[in-house]
């Protein structure tokens, strides 16, 4: 019996789908046959992603422009979309991380902004689409978080805190919706070759008087597999969790980090 990775006839919503890990996830979902709706702030970025998606199975892909910093707008936009379109079977929650900084320097407003974008938006999206997943008897909620769920990272105080909250939210939700054929999982990216990471590497190189190549080699040396991951590899993990093959996997935190995190 072959592994069932077929997503033909399924529809997936991918947040922050205009670039980076969101785009990579959307592409891999489309390759498995899903119709994909990419959402995010950049209309141009979303359209570029739509043009990269596979239509091998006759899919019609779509995009929704929405600002995740305004969770009330997220609620309005996705509720309207849900009422006017076919059900969403797969949700990939994804949004940019809070700004770096020491936790003692963070203000209540810093935490509130991060909670709104990450936790509250995820909650609103789940409330919007889970009813349709129940009717369909198939649902996947996949949260792109961070390896900081396993091991807090230096100078990311707000991010470490909020990511952990999202992981616990997901575990709680997984226990509630499993009986409806809905799974909820978290994917934890390590160092992955996105434009954002490469910009960060360039900044570090300049600060430390190194070339970009030297800085990248130094960072790669901290990873057991000795290289920075590709977005496509991360997208493959998301697509697998979205597929029928992953039907008995729920409530887990899956690091896709080349072994960077040393804890279990």
What is the arithmetic mean of pLDDT over 48-77?
95
Classified by CATH at the fold level, domain 11-191+231-256 comes out as Rossmann fold (3.40.50)
pLDDT recorded at residue 153? 92
What is the arithmetic mean of pLDDT over 234-250?
99
pTM equals 0.96
What is the arithmetic mean of pLDDT over 32-38?
99
pLDDT recorded at residue 216? 96
pLDDT recorded at residue 19? 96
Helix axes 20-31, 43-52, angle to 10 degrees: 30
**Residue 67 main-chain phi, psi, to 5 deg:** -100, 115
pLDDT recorded at residue 97? 86
Over residues 225-235, the pLDDT tens digits come to 999 999 999 99
User: By percentage, how much of the chain surpasses pLDDT 90?
Assistant: 93
Q: What angle do CA 215, 219, 225 make, to 5 degrees?
A: 135
Over residues 161-183, the pLDDT tens digits come to 999 999 999 999 999 999 999 99
What is the arithmetic mean of pLDDT over 128-145?
98
What is the arithmetic mean of pLDDT over 4-14?
98
Domain segments of the chain as ranges: 11-191+231-256, 193-228
Q: What does the alpha-carbon distance between residue 149 and residue 67 come to, in Å, rounded to a whole number? A: 25
pLDDT recorded at residue 1? 67
**Residue 14 main-chain phi, psi, to 5 deg:** -120, 115
pLDDT recorded at residue 264? 86
pLDDT recorded at residue 96? 86
Its sign, for the CA torsion 188, 92, 171, 139, is: negative
3-state DSSP helix/strand/coil % of the chain, to nearest 5: 50, 15, 35
């Amino acid at each position: 019996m072959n592994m069932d990775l077929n997503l033909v006839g399924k529809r997936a919503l991918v947040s922050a789908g205009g670039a980076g890990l969101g785009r990579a996830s959307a592409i891999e979902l489309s390759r498995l046959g899903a119709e994909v709706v990419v959402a995010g702030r950049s209309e141009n970025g979303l359209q570029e992603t739509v043009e990269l998606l596979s239509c091998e199975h006759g899919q019609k892909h779509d995009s929704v422009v929405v600002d995740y910093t305004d969770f009330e707008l997220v609620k309005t936009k996705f509720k309207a979309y849900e009422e006017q379109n076919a059900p969403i079977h797969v949700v990939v929650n994804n949004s940019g991380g809070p700004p770096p900084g020491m936790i003692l320097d963070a203000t209540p407003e810093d935490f509130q902004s991060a909670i709104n974008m990450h936790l509250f938006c995820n909650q609103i999206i789940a409330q919007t689409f889970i009813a349709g997943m129940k009717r369909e008897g198939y649902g996947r909620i996949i949260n792109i978080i961070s390896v900081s769920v396993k091991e807090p990272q230096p100078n990311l105080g707000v991010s470490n805190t909020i990511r952990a909250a999202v992981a616990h939210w997901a575990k709680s939700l997984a226990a509630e919706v499993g009986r409806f054929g809905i799974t909820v999982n978290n994917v934890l990216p390590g160092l992955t070759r996105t434009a954002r990471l490469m910009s960060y590497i360039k900044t570090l190189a300049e600060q430390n008087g190194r070339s970009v190549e030297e800085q990248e080699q130094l960072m790669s040396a901290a990873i057991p597999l000795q290289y920075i991951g590709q977005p496509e590899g991360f997208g493959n993990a998301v697509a697998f969790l979205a597929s029928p093959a992953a039907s008995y996997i729920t409530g887990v935190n899956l690091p896709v980090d080349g072994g960077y995190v040393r804890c279990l």
